[in-house]
Amino acid sequence: MIPFEVITMLGSSLLTGVLSLWSASQKDKAEQQKYLIQRAEVDRAAIQDARNHGGHFQSVTRRWMALLAVFFIICLPKLAVFIDPSIAVHLMYLEQVKEGWWIFGYTQEVTTFAGLTGIVITNADTHFLAAVSGFYFGSAAVRR
């Protein structure tokens, strides 16, 4: 039988080792948090510098980008119909094509182009307008 003193010595050594590892782990986590706070302070300072540096030119540039994108992507294809009614607006969409038989078949995406005449309003138009309005109004909402 192992003497009780040896069991106590081994148990205390094991407990001391576990507690030392735990202590080192907590010190490492505290140091990591300290570095994260320092990094956040540097990021905050950089963001604040960018906000202080920004001015009228940035807002004008953002407005022009939004207006030109809306005009050329949304308005121009709609206005082209009034200029020349024979102009076709070409749309690209993906089609799922199943090839093969039953469980041995596979589905493949095929890009299809279709030419339509008249005023064409697609889901992409509404998504694009939502993205542009979010880009434009979102930056104004976070301004202080």
> For 82-124, how does the pLDDT look when each residue is reduced to its tens digit (9 = 90+)?
888 888 877 778 888 888 888 888 888 998 888 887 777 777 7
How many residues comprise the chain?
144
Distance CA 78, CA 74 (A): 7
Statement: the pTM of the whole predicted model exceeds 0.75? no
Confirm if 119 and 64 have CB atoms less than 8 A apart: no
List the structure tokens of 47. Answer: 């963001």
Each residue's pLDDT tens digit, 14-59? 888 888 889 889 999 999 999 999 999 988 888 787 777 766 677 7
The sign of the CA dihedral 11, 16, 17, 19 is: positive
Say how many CA atoms lie within 13 Å of 89 toward its Cβ: 19
